[in-house]
Structure 1
Amino acid sequence: MIDDSLLSQMKEIGMSEYEAKVYVILSALRVASAREIHEQIKIPRGRIYETLTTLAQKGFIVSSGKSPVRYSPVDVMQTFERLKRESVKSLEGLYERLKALETETPVPPMQGYKLYTDWTRDNPIRMILHRAKSEIILLCDDEEFLKKYSSDISRAAKRVSVYLVVGRPELAGFAPIKCYAGGRDIESSLFHNEVGESNGLSMKLFLMADRCESLSIMEENGNLTGIFIYPDIYASYMSRKVVQEIEPVERSRKAT
């Protein structure tokens, strides 16, 4: 009786159902003819020869003798060391091709999208936090957003540099990572407009990743609207200015 879990593992490395069965039983018998293998696993005689030929071509087994031909598995350690080398080589080739696509594909013109619903805002926020490669700058003036994306921010901070800037000192208590306070320009331009400059909008969240894309969420009359821009030609300048101006703040104990 062949262990089904072992067959499943063999199929995970690219074997067919018949190939897995023949290889496993041959590994147990060590040496056997096609007829002996057929008697053990009860698959069609014609498929036995076809499967043995395929396994030999793939380098899993060898044959000897002529009447009858007998088969045996290649040394397991040798076989799987070869498979590991081939797998690594294949993955490296795939990686190089995908990296080439990143560098060769022309940068699209700047595009902006309005995000009107919770879902259309939530999905890109999580995606940006997940896919950023080097840096994330997140300005937030909303306790609920900090709570909602706490785990995503924490995971991102383990991979890339994350600058979390809070709009009010009390929000530091809800920050999942080290956070910062903005200087006068950030405070007056992004968080709380000075008298006479207000346009009726209040910023809840402003996210920039890798100095090339941005997503902002604003509130007007109790309604939230998001705007996603990529590539954002201003994100590089804005990111540098924010990093230059912010200062670390102490996090108070989180509210309960």
Structure 2
Amino acid sequence: MPMAYYMASIGLFGMLRLPMMWQRSQDEQKAMPLVIYGASGAVGSAAVQLAVNANFHPLVCVAGSGASAIQPLLNSSKGDVVLDYREGAEKLVENMKAALGEQELHYAFDCVSEHGSSANICRVLRKGGHISLVLPSGVKDVPPGFDVNTTMAGNLWAGFKNKSDTHGAMGLAGGKEFGYCYSRLLGHWFSEDKLRVHSPEIIEGGLLGIEKALKNLREGKNHGVKYVVRVRDTPGLE
């Protein structure tokens, strides 16, 4: 839970520099379109909930079979939608444009960053718009003319270096203070039941069930749940 929410916080408020509600005027509160690609994953789901609490709407969320876990988090009256990427790139781009209507898209958080996800987003994102990815390898899919960077937990440390990095700053000025402020805010929102985590699913057999869990993850069978392995359930343990 902490890593997913820290990643989402860094992506939205650190790398994309999205303003919190207290940093925006009343007019700006009315519309702050945001695309979150991979919204049903751990980081994507966290980003959706942070965006809702920060009053970003409309939220254009892209998901697959885990869409049902995201739908209850959204506010359709404010234009929030969840779109299925499995309908194909052309249909997805068409649906994203339809969801935005006349509003321009300036910000996008790509929590997948592979299989053409960033390329799809950039067909909707305004030129000069901002996009942050969770995988550096996805930067190659972003055409020229956009502000692109990568969200990583290491962004909080100014000394964090990636020798192969060519996609933008890896360190945030004041990263320690950023981490302090947002960890406190996350704790506050959790205490008020404004955030939740993926539903847990107990893996049968304790440690003997790890192989099955890993295979399910590799084969994409895990949707909207977190696997929990209870060591005490392992047969033969005393």
TM-score exceeds 0.5: no
| TM-score normalised according to structure 1 size | 0.28
Q: Larger Cα Rg: Structure 1 or Structure 2?
A: 1
The structure in which a higher percent of residues are strand is 1
| TM-score normalised according to structure 2 size | 0.29
